[in-house]
């Protein structure tokens, strides 16, 4: 008697009706190809990385389960090597969303890639570095494998009187794993803390209790892990009595905004990116500009803050308040070129990440910028690596740090 084969794991039921329609809508025109940073920066361009080609490959797999012939006869089995092949292409992506802006049919590719990453993860075919990352988040509640007491290491740069570690406060500053734990960007939290203090904000931290926002888990495809983290952080924030949470990280910002959807309930708090508060502080004269930068400063739109959250004008308004010489990239706002720091590409293909970063740094050099700025710790870390790789003298400073250097209390 032959043993019955175990049921194949490829949960296409995760795809919405819209996403199933999008798989059929894509005409494979390849218009998106030149907009994709991972495809264009490959030393030898691989057609499999073109977003339209990915859609085509995914569509073929899905039709084995849901196509007309699978309904008439029976669903065809999907070989593990088929899933493994498309898995590598799906994770060789920064999830920047630029392809969906370029798409003539407005296919929401960034959502599509995230959903398929979840399907691939459940099928047990996520690349090994991403599975290791997931294990680190499970064990340490951060993607860097750091102990919880290192989350407050950045506070050593500040006087204790500058850190209101209150039991209750109106606002919680959610620092985020990258800002708290990576040395290259640990100047960002003190800058944000000083701005909150000068503006007279009633704020506090979650300190060592803070855990990953869930954004990396969503990018890996482990949605259940993201829900667990969301629930934990929500309870911590509620325990502070805060109705507002601010962060300097666009990834954290988007994840925090997604908590009601992840947890299936009403919003427990309102999430802000720090630039939104700074913009309001300046309008309300809660902060004054002491003097302005004379250097030429170019602003890089973080994909998750700009293209994927629609926040373009606020960073530019803040930048104009502190410099007389703001300049623009040739590709900016919704057409902004990704720096390479998103989508967990650092884990999937670190060399490709650097190539993408180098391209963006070269564009900053072309507009003769003295300072390259952004509003994202991952962007800062990636572009700093790009600057070092090119051995250029350009400075890379987060916009919140620039603000902190030029403000005074009213």
DSSP of 204-256 = EE-GGG----SHHHHHHT-HHHHHHHHHHHHHHHHHTT-SEEEES-HHHHHHH
Q: Quick check: is 194 in a domain? A: yes
Are 363 and 389 in a shared domain? Answer: yes
Which pLDDT does position 2 carry in this prediction? Answer: 37
Any domain includes 4: no
pLDDT of amino acid 11: 80
Task: Provide the residue range defining the domain that includes 60.
Answer: 12-126
Q: What is residue 191's predicted lDDT score, i.e. its pLDDT? A: 97
CATH of the domain at 314: 3.40.50.11810
CA distance 410 to 408: 6
In this structure, are 273 and 184 located in the same domain? yes
273-310 confidence digits (pLDDT tens): 999 999 999 999 999 998 999 999 999 999 999 999 99
Instruction: Indicate if 79 and 169 belong to the same structural domain.
Output: no
Is the pTM for the entire model greater than 0.85? yes
Of 97, 126, 155, which one is at a domain's C-terminal end?
A: 126
Looking at the structure, tell me whether residues 242 and 303 fall in a common domain: no
User: What is the pLDDT, as a whole number, of residue 61?
Assistant: 85
Q: Which residues contact 204 (CB under 8 A, 6 or more apart)?
A: 164, 165, 166, 167, 168, 169, 171, 172, 173, 240, 242
Residues in contact with 108: Cβ distance below 8 Å, sequence separation at least 6, in sequence order? 18, 19, 22, 100
Q: What is the CATH number of the domain that holds 94?
A: 1.10.1060
Between CA 261 and CA 263 the distance in angstroms is 6
Token code pair at residue 204: 């506090």
> Is the residue at 7 inside a domain?
no
Residue 69 lies in a domain: yes
How many structural domains comprise the chain? Answer: 3
The answer to whether position 1 is within a domain reads no
Residue 6: inside a domain: no
| Residue 220 lies inside a defined structural domain of this protein | yes
Instruction: Say if residue 331 is in the same domain as residue 305.
Output: yes
pLDDT given at position 13: 84
Which of 99, 126, 153 delimits the end of a domain? 126
Are 271 and 143 contained in the same domain? Answer: yes
**pLDDT by 10s per residue, the chain, length 410:** 333 344 456 788 899 999 999 999 998 899 999 999 999 999 889 999 999 999 999 988 888 777 555 555 666 677 778 888 889 999 999 999 999 999 999 999 999 999 999 999 998 999 999 999 999 999 999 999 999 999 999 998 888 777 888 899 999 999 999 999 999 999 999 999 999 999 999 999 999 999 999 999 999 999 999 999 999 999 999 999 999 999 999 999 999 999 999 999 999 999 999 999 999 999 999 999 989 999 999 999 999 999 999 999 999 999 999 999 899 999 999 999 999 999 999 999 999 999 999 999 999 999 999 999 999 999 999 999 999 999 999 999 999 999 999 998 88
Are 111 and 164 in the same domain?
no
Same domain, 73 and 85: yes
Same domain, 255 and 308: no
Domain endpoint, select from 280, 297, 313: 280
Pair (276, 157) in one structural domain: yes
Same-domain status, 32 and 114:
yes
Name the residue among 254, 194, 160 with its Cα closest to residue 400: 194
Report yes or no on 171 lying in a domain: yes
Query: Tell me, what CATH number does 186's domain have?
Result: 3.40.50.1860
pLDDT tens-digit map of 11-53: 888 999 999 999 999 988 999 999 999 999 998 899 999 999 9
Q: How many CA atoms lie within 13 A of 255 on its CB side?
A: 28
Asked whether residue 108 falls in the same domain as residue 197, the answer is no
């Amino acid at each position: 008697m032959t043993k019955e084969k175990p049921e194949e794991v490829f949960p296409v039921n995760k795809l919405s009706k819209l996403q199933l329609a999008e798989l059929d809508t894509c005409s494979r025109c390849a218009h998106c190809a030149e907009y994709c940073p991972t495809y264009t920066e490959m030393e030898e361009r691989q057609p499999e990385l073109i977003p339209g080609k990915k859609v085509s490959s995914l569509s073929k797999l899905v039709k084995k389960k849901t196509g007309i012939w699978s309904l008439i006869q029976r669903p065809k089995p999907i070989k593990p090597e088929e899933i493994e092949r498309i898995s590598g292409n799906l994770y060789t992506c920064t999830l920047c969303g630029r392809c969906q802006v370029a798409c003539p049919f407005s296919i929401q590719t960034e959502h599509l890639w995230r959903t398929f990453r979840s399907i691939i993860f459940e099928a047990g075919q996520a690349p090994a570095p991403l599975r290791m990352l997931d294990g680190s988040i499970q064990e340490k509640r951060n993607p860097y494998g750091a102990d919880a007491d290192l989350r407050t290491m950045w506070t050593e740069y500040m006087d204790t009187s500058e850190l209101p570690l209150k039991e209750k406060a109106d606002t919680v500053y959610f620092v985020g794993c990258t800002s708290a734990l990576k040395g290259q960007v640990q100047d960002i939290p003190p800058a944000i803390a000083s701005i909150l203090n000068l503006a007279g904000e009633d704020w506090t931290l979650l300190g060592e209790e803070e855990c990953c926002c869930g954004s990396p888990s969503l990018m890996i495809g482990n949605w259940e892990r993201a829900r667990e983290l969301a629930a934990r952080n929500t309870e911590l924030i509620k325990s502070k009595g805060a109705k507002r949470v601010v962060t300097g990280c666009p990834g954290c910002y988007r994840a925090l905004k997604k908590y009601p959807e992840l947890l299936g309930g009403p919003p427990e708090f309102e999430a802000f990116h720090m630039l939104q508060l700074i913009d309001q502080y300046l309008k309300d004269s809660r902060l004054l500009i002491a003097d302005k930068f004379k250097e030429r400063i170019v602003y890089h739109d973080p994909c998750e803050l700009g293209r994927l959250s629609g926040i373009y004008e606020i960073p530019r308004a803040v930048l104009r308040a502190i410099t007389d010489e703001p300049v623009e990239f040739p590709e900016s706002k919704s057409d902004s070129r990704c720096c390479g720091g998103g989508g967990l590409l650092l884990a999937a293909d670190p060399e490709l990440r650097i190539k993408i970063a180098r391209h963006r740094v070269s564009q900053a050099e072309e507009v003769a910028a003295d300072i390259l700025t952004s509003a994202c710790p991952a962007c800062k870390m990636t572009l700093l690596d790009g600057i070092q790789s090119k051995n250029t003298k350009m400075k890379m400073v987060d916009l919140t740090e620039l603000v902190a250097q030029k403000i005074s209390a009213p």
